[in-house]
Amino acid sequence: MADEAGKHIGEVLLSASNISLSFGAVHALTDVSADIREHEILAIIGPNGAGKTSLLNCINGVYHPQKGTITFEGEPRADLAPSEIARQGIARTFQNVALFKGMTTLDNIMTGRNTRLGGNFLKQALYWGSYQRDELEHRVLVEKIIDFLEIQAIRKVPVGRLPYGMQKRVELGRALAAEPRLLLLDEPMAGMNVEEKEDMSRFVLDVNDEFGTTIALIEHDMGVVMDISDRVIVLDYGRKIADGTPDEVRANQAVIDAYLGVSH
Amino acid sequence: MLYRECGQFKSTYRDDQSIFPIAQDRWALWIALAVAIFVVPTIGSDYWLGSIFIPFLIYALAALGLNLLTGYAGLLSLGTAGFMAVGAFATYNLMIRIPDLPFLVAIILGGLIAAAVGVLFGLPSLRIKGFYLAVATLAAQFTIEWVLTTFGWFTNYDASGVISAPPIEMFGYEFKSATSRYLLTLSIVVVLALAAKNMVRSSIGRSWMAIRDMDVAAEVIGIRLLRTKLLAFAISSFYCGVAGALWAFLYLGTVEPQAFDLNRSFQILFMIIIGGLGSILGSFLGAAFIVLLPILINNAAGLFGGAIPADVVSNFELVVFGSLIIFFLIVEPQGLARLWQITKEKLRMWPFPH
Ligand SMILES: Nc1ncnc2c1ncn2[C@@H]1O[C@H](COP(=O)(O)OP(=O)(O)O)[C@@H](O)[C@H]1O
Ligand SMILES: [Mg+2]
């Protein structure tokens, strides 16, 4: 269990208050409030179509909720473009792998560092002096991520040719390369076999443990959720119906009715 | 010598990140450069230098420019020749209006003006993609042609519309002979090609490929879409603008809007489709192919001793082009450069495939 290491769960890092998001007549989220605390692993669960992905999309600016506010690091946030939110330290992966298919594993993960490896394009065209040094420095960090995720062997392979499980791992690497404060993972273990799920769970725990990264993840596998999360929130039909420790949520009658007991 | 990567251990990331990590590729480049600098001017006739090598190099430069935009950043453009025209006419006007302006400075400024125009027509790219963007760039092509033929100022009120380019003089030397024009073109193209190669392996190149492959994911890792796309338009149009100026000053010797019509745009688009989208080498291969194919077909027809009428030959050319483009679009979208790469991969295994 993640909490037995005696890890320190800190202040609220991000807080969504009374968020509502609809697409025409579809209410994806209705009046949802949730906090994400520093250093915790928060699981977001709920049946398909419950609004889990929509919640992540609101947090990182892909969607802007029609109502409610999002506060990050104590400051209420205006409707920003996703690129600006990324620069504030929020990274994510997608439910359907969203890698850059024509690029290699290495380049995909290097791209995760682009916000820090700027410099003007003239320096890059010359590839000389300070730019070359920067590129090398960032490469060293990216190689650490590659070692950490045990994907050295596929470093130079275009990601389009990789099996699905590996693609998910590369996508995690790309998100990690940004050294985010808050990492959002949308079904990181979907479609994986047991070993792959175990590997991925270990990576999630290690990231949380070694870098202190705050993680919010969507997951369907209850075993995994109960194992790795510090806290769980449950969505159903766009509303939050429970919020607590894995044990509390497991015992919650509304959750049992809406999700665990009833098969969708 | 065998084409091998193994045995060349790269002990540092620095070696691994060098511009051509495989030694044989480095050698191939040096040899190609040596041949281009020393052998071609010595054995090439004025006809070959002036009418084949110079246009080939300039086409390759324009294709490179388009490839940065379309092959790397995924933004389809039909305005290539329009941006070339801007470069040519901007350079021309700078040369005649600012006395003693050095030619190199004039073409750089001409390229920058083309870049500015490229950015202007690139603005819609934030909202539209693919086919619709192609139509927007088509508008650039027509607008630029119209402006240049309608407002006399740009052609210095020349009635014929065909202006001879002012002579090029640098360091007291006049670039008049085919050899000197060839070497000047070659130097500019090599420098810009190396710069392009560097950009595509840097963060800006990765940003371009990222927005090409998956723009939502690119944005979510912090890439600013509008800026990245406009930079692609600017740099691409700079390359095309310089190519246009070289076309007018070092190839044709005249500055005329007709040299930069829609056909030219398509021709350059075909080069990158045949040569390889998203490949620097592919831009050169595509340009070589399109320059050389008509010559090959004509020579082949010549073997029949004029028995085949000229119009049949030129129609045959179109048929061959059309079939090749369909072939590459369907079978090998990464073009000749990819075929070359596959050959190299086979060589790497040879003589023990698997
Ligand atoms: N871009 C969109 N346009 C229209 N409807 C959407 C869009 N995104 C999500 N929805 C709808 O919002 C609801 C919640 O979707 P989602 O957040 O993806 O659910 P989950 O991730 O929990 O499966 C669903 O009914 C879905 O159809
Ligand atoms: Mg979802």
3-state secondary structure chain A: CHHHHCCCCCCEEEEEEEEEEEECCEEEEEEEEEEEECCCEEEEECCCCCCHHHHHHHHCCCCCCCEEEEEECCEECCCCCHHHHHHCCEEEECCCCCCCCCCEHHHHHHHCCCCCCCCCHHHHHHCCCHHHHHHHHHHHHHHHHHHHCCCHHHCCCEHHHCCHHHHHHHHHHHHHHCCCCEEEEECCCCCCCHHHHHHHHHHHHHHHHHHCCEEEEECCCHHHHHHHCCEEEEEECCEEEEEECHHHHHHCHHHHHHHHCCCC
Q: Residue of the nearest CA to atom 21 in ligand 1?
A: A53
Name which of A83, A98, A121 is nearest B222 (Cβ-Cβ).
Answer: A83
**Mutation test of the interface with chain A: which of B16, B190, B200, B202, choosing the one with the most A Cβ atoms within 10 A?**
B202
**Cα→Cα distances B65→A210, B176, B204, B280, Å:** 45, 26, 15, 10
Per-residue pLDDT, A103: 94
Residues of A whose CB is below 8 A from B224:
81, 83
Residue A92 is predicted with a pLDDT of: 96
How does DSSP assign B162-182, residue by residue? -EEPPPPEETTEE--SHHHHH
Alpha carbon distance A185, B199 (integer Å) = 31
Lowest-pLDDT range, A14-28, A93-107, B84-98, B320-334? B320-334
Q: Given this model, what pLDDT does residue A257 score?
A: 81
State how far the Cα of A173 lies from the Cα of A58, in Å rounded to an integer.
22
Tokens for A83, please give them: 């690129």
Tell me how far apart the alpha carbons of residues B28 and A43 are, in angstroms, rounded to a whole number.
54
Q: At A40, is the pLDDT very low, low, confident or very high (cuts 50, 70, 90)? A: very high
Any domain includes B20: no
CA–CA dist B174, B250 (Å, integer): 12
Residue-level pLDDT at B110:
97
Query: Per-residue pLDDT for B9 more than 70?
Result: no
pLDDT at B4 over 70: no
Residue A264: the pLDDT is 46
Nearest Cα of chain B lies from the Cα of A31 at a distance, in angstroms, of 25
Going from the C-alpha of A204 to that of each of A111, A138, A215, B350, the distances in angstroms are 21, 22, 8, 43
B86 found inside a domain: yes
Residue bearing the CA closest to ligand 1, atom 18: A53
Integer angstrom CA distances of residue A70 from A31, A33, B7, B222:
12, 9, 55, 19
- Range of weakest confidence among A151-160, B19-28, B179-188, B190-199: B19-28
pLDDT at A3 over 70: no
Domain of residue B60, residue span: 45-349
Q: Which of A20, A21, A53, A220 to mutate to test the pocket of ligand 1 (most atoms within 8 A of CB)?
A: A53
Alpha-carbon span A240 to B167, nearest angstrom: 76
Q: What is the pLDDT, as a whole number, of residue B163?
A: 83
- Does the pLDDT at position A129 exceed 90? no
Residue-averaged pLDDT of chain B: 88
**Of the spans A41-45, B3-7, B167-171, which averages the highest pLDDT?**
A41-45
CA nearest neighbour of A146 among A118, A166, A163, A126: A166
Q: Which of A105-109, A132-136, B181-185 has the lowest mean pLDDT?
A: A132-136
Contact A136 B17 (CB under 8 A): yes
Higher pLDDT, B175 or A32: A32
Give dist(CA B341, CA B275) in Å, integer: 12
DSSP state, B142? H
Q: Which has the closest alpha carbon to A188: A201, A178, A176?
A: A201
The CATH number assigned to the domain holding B256 equals: 1.10.3470
- Please check the confidence at residue B299 and state whether its pLDDT lies above 90: no
Mean predicted confidence (pLDDT) in B215-227 = 94
Q: Residue A26 has which token pair?
A: 């579809």
Question: A112: which chain B residues are within 8 Å (Cβ-Cβ)?
Answer: 221
Using alpha carbons, select from A237, A185, A241 the residue that is nearest to residue A215: A185
CB contact under 8 A, A136 and B14: yes
Give the pair of three-digit tokens for residue A250: 């497991």
pLDDT of A5 above 90: no
Residues of chain B with pLDDT > 90: what percent?
53
**Tokens found for residue A129:** 């002096």
The residue nearest atom 2 of ligand 1, judged by CA position, is: A23
Q: Round to whole Å and give the CA distance between B74 and B225.
A: 12
**What span, in angstroms and rounded, lies between the C-alpha atoms of B70 and A58?**
32
How sure is the predictor about B333, in pLDDT bands with cuts at 50, 70 and 90?
Answer: confident
Contact indicator for B241, B82 with CB cutoff of 8 Å = no
Which residue, chain included where needed, has tokens 């691994």?
B16
pLDDT of residue A2: 44
Higher pLDDT, B330 or A56: A56
d(CA A18, CA A94): 24
**A53-71 tens-digit pLDDT:** 999 999 999 999 999 999 9
Q: What are phi and psi of B127, to 5 degrees?
A: -100, -30
% of chain B exceeding 70 in pLDDT: 94
d(CA A180, CA A87): 9
A contact set with B (CB within 8 A):
60, 62, 81-83, 86-87, 91-92, 94, 98-103, 107, 110-115, 117-119, 121, 124-127, 131-132, 135-136, 139-140, 143, 174-175, 178
The whole-angstrom distance between A89's CA and the closest CA on chain B is 9
Facing residues of A182 across strands?
A90, A214
* Helical pair B80-97 and B54-66, crossing angle rounded to 10 deg: 120
End-to-end alpha-carbon separation of chain B, Å? 21
pLDDT for position B2: 56
The whole-angstrom separation of Cα A21 and Cα A64 is 8
Length of chain B counted residue by residue = 354
pLDDT of residue B216: 93
Among residues B200, B204, B207, B205, the alpha carbon closest in space to that of B223 is found at B207
Res. A214: pLDDT tops 90: yes
Residue B345 lies in a domain: yes
Res. B322 pLDDT band, cuts 50 70 90: confident
Average pLDDT over residues A224-247: 93
In a domain, B201, yes or no: yes
Q: Enter the pTM of the model.
A: 0.90
Q: Could you give the count of Cα atoms lying within 13 Å of B5 in the half-sphere of its Cβ?
A: 12
Asked if residues B200 and B208 have their Cβ atoms less than 8 Å apart, the reply is yes
Which domains does chain A possess?
Answer: 1-89+180-264 (3.40.50.300), 100-164 (no CATH)
Domain tally, chain B = 1
Going by alpha carbons, the residue nearest to atom 8 of ligand 1 is A54
Residue B149: is it exposed, middle or buried by C-beta count within 10 angstroms (0-12/13-18/19+)? middle
Calpha distance B116→A254 (Å, rounded): 61
Query: Looking at residues B10-34, what average pLDDT do you find?
Result: 80
CA-nearest of B249, B54, B259 to B170 is B249
B254 membership: H or E segment, kind and range: strand B254-255
- Judging contacts by C-beta atoms under 8 Å, the chain B residues touching residue A103 are 206, 209-210, 213
In a domain, B12, yes or no: no
How far, in Å, is the centroid of ligand 1 from the Cα of A236?
A: 12
Position B251 confidence tier, pLDDT thresholds 50, 70, 90: very high
Are B201 and A127 in contact (CB < 8 Å)?
yes
Residue B101: phi and psi, rounded to 5, are -75, 125
**Does residue A145's CB lie within 6 angstroms of at least one atom of ligand 1?**
no
Give the Å distance between the CA of A97 and the centre of ligand 2. 12
Residue B66's closest CA among B243, B228, B328?
Answer: B243
Query: Are the Cβ atoms of A102 and B213 closer than 8 angstroms?
Result: yes
Whether B249 maps to a domain, the answer reads yes
Location of structure tokens 């490179």: B64
Angle at A53 between CA A45 and CA A78, to 5 degrees: 120
**pLDDT value of position A1:** 43
pLDDT of amino acid B233: 97
CA distance B61 to chain A (A): 16
B302–chain A nearest CA distance, Å: 43
pLDDT at A260: 54
The reply to whether residue B225 touches residue A98, judged by beta carbons under 8 angstroms, is no
User: Predicted confidence band at B350 (pLDDT cuts at 50, 70, 90)?
Assistant: low
Helix (H) or strand (E) holding B221: none
Q: How far apart, in whole angstroms, are the C-alpha atoms of residue B191 and residue A145?
A: 35
At residue A243's C-alpha, the angle toward residues A40 and B217, to 5°, is 55
| Three-state SS at B1 | coil
At A78-120, the pLDDT tens digits run 899 999 999 999 999 999 999 999 999 999 999 999 888 877 8
Report for B13-27, B58-72, B131-145, B315-329: range of highest mean pLDDT: B58-72
CB atoms within 10 A of CB B87: 35
For residue B1, what pLDDT is reported? 46
Cβ atoms A103, B209 nearer than 8 A:
yes
ipTM for this model: 0.91
- The whole-angstrom separation of Cα A236 and Cα A254 is 10
